[in-house]
């Protein structure tokens, strides 16, 4: 997945307290203005450096459920574009109990035990908590281009801080599977997964932009 400069208040696989159902959209390739009337910009990343800014992002995806080496993202930053890669031959599986799934992800927040998605999850390594950006309300936006190859799953999502049982919900601003990206039509899924949060319910909504979203950058946003 490629992320382009001009990101405002973005959380990638990060930590955010959520409660209500989201409103999400996918715009065309036009550049959205960064400054908006009535809003205060509190987080922005232009990807101007060759490496990620550790004060904003972690490149280790839930390392507490795996090993430091297996959790590291494979990525490049060139000309203001961050490209997350899956290296078929050299990248190992993310999880010790799964010899297929490989993940490259960046996030603004993470701590030990966060996102316990499976009963067999066991903390294998302890890490200092990353709390670069957390917020309860706001508007979030990024420009992204996703691959269309089979077997790939691109996503931008948020989870609660998990300080309480009602702060565990997950919002998927978009989930796009490679086979769902086709010429003239793509499927973009928006979802809410409550996990242990009784204040919301499981729900998903599919959007069908009339284009191949892998061919250019598109703006995805969440209120």
- Residues 79-92 have pLDDT tens digits of 999 999 999 888 99
Closest to 64 in 3D by CA, of 120, 7, 121, 123: 123
Average pLDDT, the chain: 84
Question: What ranges do the domains of the chain cover?
Answer: 2-222
Query: How many other C-beta atoms can be found within 10 angstroms of the C-beta atom of residue 124?
Result: 14
Q: What topology does CATH give the domain 2-222?
A: Jelly Rolls (2.60.120)
Contact residues for 38 (Cβ-Cβ < 8 A; gap 6+): none
pTM for the model stands at: 0.83
Residues 6+ apart with CB under 8 A from 18: 158, 159, 160, 167, 169, 170, 171, 192, 200
Is 7 a residue whose pLDDT tops 50? no
3-state secondary structure of 129: coil
């Amino acid at each position: 997945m490629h992320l382009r400069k001009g990101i405002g208040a973005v959380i990638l696989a990060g930590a955010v307290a959520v409660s209500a159902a989201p409103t999400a959209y996918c715009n065309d390739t036009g550049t959205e203005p960064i400054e908006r009337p009535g809003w205060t910009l509190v987080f922005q990343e232009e990807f101007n450096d060759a490496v990620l800014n550790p004060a904003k992002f972690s490149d280790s995806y839930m390392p507490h459920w795996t090993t430091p080496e297996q959790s590291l993202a494979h990525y490049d930053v060139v000309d203001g574009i961050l490209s997350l890669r899956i290296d078929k031959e050299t990248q190992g599986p993310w999880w010790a109990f799964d010899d297929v799934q490989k993940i490259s992800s960046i996030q603004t927040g993470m701590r030990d035990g966060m996102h316990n998605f499976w009963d067999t999850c066991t903390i294998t390594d302890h890490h200092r908590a990353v709390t670069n950006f957390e917020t309860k309300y706001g508007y979030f936006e990024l420009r992204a281009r996703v691959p269309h190859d089979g077997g790939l799953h691109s996503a931008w999502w948020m989870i609660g801080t998990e300080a309480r049982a009602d702060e565990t919900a997950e919002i998927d601003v978009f989930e796009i599977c490679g086979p769902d990206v086709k010429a003239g039509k793509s499927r973009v899924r928006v979802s809410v997964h409550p996990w242990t949060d009784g204040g919301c319910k499981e729900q998903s909504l599919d959007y069908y932009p009339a284009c191949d979203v892998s061919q250019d950058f598109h703006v995805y946003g969440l209120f």
